[in-house]
Amino acid sequence: MPDNSSTIAKPEAVNTAVTSTTETDSKDNQQAPSNTLQQQPPNEHQPSVPTSPNADATETNAPVTADQTPSATPVNTAGNSPEAQQQQKAVERDREIVEEFEYLLEKSQQLFSGLGDLPEIGSKYWMPHFQRTFEVYTKLWRFQNQHRLLLEKPEHYGLKRWEVGEIASKIGQLYYRYYLRTSDTNNLLEAFVFYDAIRERNYFKGEEE
């Protein structure tokens, strides 16, 4: 039976992120920079001036001529150039995006798994967990939508469509479970929005894990 013991605040709706996305599921035009840094040229060492095996000590210590003067070793400043620094910052920024996505994904899975351990009655026990789960999934959905182009690249994360579908499915289930506890039909409608998006966009069609 739904728990109507107290009036609860409706969790932050995340369906706006679903309905606002285009068929391509992403508006992020961020271009992932190349991870290849400018290669530094190797140091050139000037070979020593060869001497004759029969030369005496005076010949060995004689000063070299102008054409035998070693050339100065070129100083490599490529690593300190503004372009290289900007490229390095871009690589670090991409890595931070991937790490943030992985953290949100893992955290959301942990919270969703804990829903089954919540008591059926007593809103003061289960409501905070639901609110926290809604918050993390909302952030995860918006984050993957914002950085979809980057996350789909194999060299960064390699996000697949069925993985996006799994996130949408978990959000739909989350709304449905909340409906069962509150009898609020608005949550049932929110669950339908996500399941309908999964069907319309064929997140799981032809995909194999």
Band the pLDDT of 41: cuts 50, 70, 90: very low
Q: Is the pTM of this model over 0.85?
A: no
**pLDDT (tens digit, 9 = 90+) per residue, 114-126?**
998 898 888 888 9
* Locus of tokens 């900007």: 86
Band the pLDDT of 183: cuts 50, 70, 90: very high
Question: C-alpha distances in angstroms, 77 versus 86, 138, 150?
Answer: 15, 45, 30
DSSP string covering the chain, please?
----SS--PPPPP-HHHHHTS-TTS----PPPPPS-PPPPPPPP-PPPPP--TT--HHHHTSPP-GGGPPPPPPP--GGGSHHHHHHHHHHHHHHHHHHHHHHHHHHHHHHHHGGGGS-SS-HHHHHHHHHHHHHHHHHHHHHHHHTHHHHHSTTTT---HHHHHHHHHHHHHHHHHHHHHH--HHHHHHHHHHHHHHHHHTTTTT---
Residue 47 has pLDDT above 90, yes or no: no
**pLDDT (tens digit, 9 = 90+) per residue, 149-169?**
999 999 999 999 999 999 999
Yes or no: say if 203 and 160 are a contact pair by the CB < 8 Å rule.
no
